């Protein structure tokens, strides 16, 4: 026989809860830690309104209907020291409350849909990678901004600053099991610890599309085409944005002409990428420090100022790969139908060390924003990780600048929560029936905001307005006895009764 018999226990278990409750209330939520109440709104059910409802419910012994459950907060079994936390996300990071999440989802859906239209397959990699994957020696900004640390197993790890090295790692890993060309896309969060206090965040999401296994410039043409398709879908035109296109082989041909060693190439590109960010004298000093002669530097800067492919051909000649590839890309752009979007600009080199050929970046024509997206060919990345090289190109498209641009152009979509039905019992005893109605509707694919508490109709209508419910379904005693529910179409005001089974 259990020593814990009911006769023994009941008297001890059933002593009134109230004193204990009040005790725990005051010990767990001391006044000094409460959030300020200056924005109390009388119209909405807010935290403070709820809190006072709860107190009065406690005072009068709790809500008596609905199974004897008290409306009050339960006495707390969680006893923790109260520590007032910073309610903001860590510096440089974002929360996504519903309104922001709707925008993110909208954006990602367009990324995904465009990728699908182009026959790309989605992939992903860990947001936490080995640090070694991102450590390159060319002096990239990205390296100084690595969010890296040692894990508990003493491994050097980093929150990924970009997705391409992970792609390369996975492709080497999969090796011969992959059919080429592969067309992959990913949407992943990337992290950069920016030390300066600028408006830039420390994380962003990036849409990447990559084609591996294709040496032809048709790959670059296809990638730019997909970005153009994306812009068109969201209402951005060629008068809003453009692509500056060049090839690293332009630089390479110039450097080769001055017998600059190949192994300085990455470093030189990284320096040149900073041209619009730091003074030109500083650029020259840095280039000089890598060993470039003053003559070579002047020539280089001269070539970088070229904005016409014809001019480039005049200077470099028609025999090199740079001019030939660029010409082919511009010719393909015409066939793809996006000539108006692209222009040659020799100053574009991009800030990542691994690009080897054509590079491009999307820019806003008003010149107010940073690059919207960027990409290029990186045929030699895999071998830097010890793999066999595969011809490759891709782009990254962040979620931040594009939103700025959409705001700028008044193109941000209006996205609201929208539910098909709000279902409400007119009496707490009918809550179970309302649940049954909700279940039936959901099984038919209808979304239902089920009112889970006893509320006046006025409150229900307000909630319906907030959730943009199409239809109000009311479960009342009189109708339910006939197996029927009341329906109100909220846009038209039309009202009727209908058998539950007939509700579509």
Instruction: Detail the residues annotated as belonging to a binding site for L-histidine.
Output: 162-164, 192, 206, 210, 350, 354-355
Within 109-128, which residues bind a second copy (CB under 8 A)? 116-119, 121-128
Which of 60, 64, 366, 383 binds a second copy (CB under 8 A)? It is 383
Task: Write down the least CB distance from residue 207 to a second copy, Å.
Answer: 14
Which of 216, 240, 408, 427 binds a second copy (CB under 8 A)? It is 216
Told to check if 334 binds a second copy by CB under 8 A, we report yes
182-191/203-212 β-pairing: antiparallel
Q: Give how far Cα 298 sits from Cα of 177, 258, 281, 361, Å.
A: 48, 12, 12, 24
Length of the chain as a residue count:
504
| 3-state DSSP of 16-66 | CCHHHHHHHHHHHCCHHHCCCCCCCCCCCCCHHHHHHHHHHHHHCCCCCCC
Told to check if 357 binds a second copy by CB under 8 A, we report yes
Told to check if 417 binds a second copy by CB under 8 A, we report yes
Tell me the site size for a second copy, rule CB under 8 A: 203
Token pair recorded at residue 325: 């590839």
Told to check if 419 binds a second copy by CB under 8 A, we report yes
Q: Judged by CB under 8 A, which stretch of 235-243, 272-280, 459-467, 483-491 contacts a second copy?
A: 459-467
Which of 442, 461, 470, 498 binds a second copy (CB under 8 A)? It is 442
Render 277-309 in DSSP notation, one character per residue.
TS-HHHHHHHHHHTT--HHHHHHHHHHHT---H
Write the burial class of residue 153 (CB in 10 Å: 0-12 exposed, 13-18 middle, 19+ buried).
Answer: exposed
Measured CA to CA, the distance from residue 216 to residue 247 in angstroms comes to 14
Measured CA to CA, the distance from residue 325 to residue 309 in angstroms comes to 11
Told to check if 143 binds a second copy by CB under 8 A, we report no
Which of 175, 410, 456, 493 binds a second copy (CB under 8 A)? It is 175
Which of 22, 64, 82, 278 binds a second copy (CB under 8 A)? It is 82
Q: Judged by CB under 8 A, which stretch of 27-35, 366-374, 404-412, 492-500 contacts a second copy?
A: 27-35
Told to check if 478 binds a second copy by CB under 8 A, we report no
Within 181-210, which residues bind a second copy (CB under 8 A)? 181, 183-184, 189, 191, 193, 195, 203
Q: Judged by CB under 8 A, which stretch of 86-94, 270-278, 406-414, 490-498 contacts a second copy?
A: 86-94
Told to check if 4 binds a second copy by CB under 8 A, we report yes
Told to check if 436 binds a second copy by CB under 8 A, we report yes
Task: Write down the least CB distance from residue 33 to a second copy, Å.
Answer: 4
Measured CA to CA, the distance from residue 395 to residue 400 in angstroms comes to 15
3-class secondary-structure state, position 377: strand
128-130/156-159 β-pairing: antiparallel
Q: Judged by CB under 8 A, which stretch of 394-402, 442-450, 480-488, 491-499 contacts a second copy?
A: 442-450
Nearer to a second copy, 383 or 477 (CB): 383
Handedness of CA 210, 212, 217, 218 (dihedral sign): negative
Q: CA gyration radius for the chain?
A: 31
CA dihedral 152, 153, 157, 163 (to 10 degrees): -110
Which of 218, 290, 339, 470 binds a second copy (CB under 8 A)? It is 218
Told to check if 350 binds a second copy by CB under 8 A, we report no
Q: Judged by CB under 8 A, which stretch of 251-259, 360-368, 397-405, 489-497 contacts a second copy?
A: 251-259
Told to check if 473 binds a second copy by CB under 8 A, we report no
Q: Judged by CB under 8 A, which stretch of 235-243, 359-367, 375-383, 397-405 contacts a second copy?
A: 375-383
Told to check if 291 binds a second copy by CB under 8 A, we report no
Told to check if 174 binds a second copy by CB under 8 A, we report yes
Measured CA to CA, the distance from residue 127 to residue 160 in angstroms comes to 6
Backbone angles phi, psi at 260, to 5 degrees: -75, 130
Using the 8-state DSSP alphabet, how is residue 372 labeled?
S
Which of 107, 140, 142, 157 binds a second copy (CB under 8 A)? It is 157
Nearer to a second copy, 97 or 410 (CB): 97
Nearer to a second copy, 6 or 492 (CB): 6
Residue 340: partners with Cβ closer than 8 Å, 6 or more residues away: 238
Beta-strand ranges (E) seen in 327-435 are: 342-344, 358-364, 373-377, 392-398, 421-425
The closest alpha carbon to 333, from 221, 246, 207, belongs to 221
Within 29-68, which residues bind a second copy (CB under 8 A)? 29, 33-35, 37, 39-41, 44-48, 50-51, 54, 66-68
Backbone angles phi, psi at 283, to 5 degrees: -60, -50
Which of 19, 367, 410, 445 binds a second copy (CB under 8 A)? It is 445
Which of 19, 42, 84, 482 binds a second copy (CB under 8 A)? It is 84
Q: Judged by CB under 8 A, which stretch of 146-154, 361-369, 398-406, 479-487 contacts a second copy?
A: 146-154
Told to check if 86 binds a second copy by CB under 8 A, we report yes
């Amino acid at each position: 026989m259990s020593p814990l018999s009911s006769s023994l226990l009941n008297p001890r278990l059933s002593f009134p809860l109230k004193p204990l409750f009040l005790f725990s209330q005051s010990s767990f939520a001391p006044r000094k830690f409460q959030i300020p109440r200056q924005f109390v709104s009388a119209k909405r059910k807010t935290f403070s309104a709820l809190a006072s409802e709860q107190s009065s419910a406690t005072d009068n012994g709790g809500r008596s209907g609905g199974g004897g459950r008290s409306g009050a907060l339960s006495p707390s079994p969680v006893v923790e020291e109260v520590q007032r936390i910073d309610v903001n996300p860590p510096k440089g990071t974002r929360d996504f409350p519903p309104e922001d999440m709707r925008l993110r989802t909208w954006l990602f859906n367009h990324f995904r849909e465009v990728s699908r239209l182009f026959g790309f397959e989605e992939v992903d990699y860990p947001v936490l990678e080995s640090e070694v994957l991102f450590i390159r020696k060319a002096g990239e900004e990205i390296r100084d901004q690595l969010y890296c640390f040692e894990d508990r197993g003493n491994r050097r790890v980093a929150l990924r600053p970009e997705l391409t090295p992970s792609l390369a790692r996975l492709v080497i890993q999969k090796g011969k099991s992959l059919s080429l060309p592969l067309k992959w896309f990913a949407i992943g969060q990337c992290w950069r610890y920016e030390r300066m206090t600028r408006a830039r965040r420390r994380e962003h999401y990036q849409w990447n599309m990559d084609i591996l296994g294709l040496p032809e410039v048709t790959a670059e043409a296809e990638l730019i085409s997909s970005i153009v398709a994306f812009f068109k879908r969201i209402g951005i035109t060629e008068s809003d944005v453009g692509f500056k296109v060049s090839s690293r082989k332009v630089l390479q041909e110039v450097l080769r002409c001055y017998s600059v060693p190949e192994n300085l190439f990455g470093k030189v590109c990284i320096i040149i990428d900073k041209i619009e960010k730091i003074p030109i004298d500083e650029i020259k000093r840095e280039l000089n420090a890598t060993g470039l002669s003053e003559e070579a530097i002047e020539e280089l800067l001269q070539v970088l100022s070229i904005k016409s492919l014809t001019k480039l051909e005049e200077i470099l000649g028609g025999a090199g790969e740079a001019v030939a590839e660029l010409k082919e890309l511009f010719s393909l752009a015409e066939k793809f139908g996006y000539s108006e979007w692209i222009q040659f600009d020799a100053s574009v080199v991009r800030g990542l060390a691994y690009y080897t050929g054509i590079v491009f970046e999307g820019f806003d024509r008003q010149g107010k924003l940073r690059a919207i997206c960027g990409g290029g060919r990186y045929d030699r990345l895999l071998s830097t990780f010890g793999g066999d090289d595969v011809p490759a190109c891709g782009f990254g498209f962040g979620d931040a600048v594009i939103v700025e641009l959409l705001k700028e152009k008044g193109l941000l979509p209006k996205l609201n929560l929208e539910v098909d039905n709000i279902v409400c019992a007119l009496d707490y005893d009918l809550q179970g029936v309302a649940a049954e109605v909700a279940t039936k509707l959901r099984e038919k694919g209808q979304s239902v905001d089920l009112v889970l508490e006893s509320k006046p109709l006025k409150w229900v209508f307000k909630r319906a307005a907030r959730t943009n419910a199409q239809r109000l379904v009311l479960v009342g005693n009189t109708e339910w006895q006939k197996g029927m529910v009341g329906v109100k179409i909220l846009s038209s005001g039309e009202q009727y009764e209908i058998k539950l089974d007939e509700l579509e």
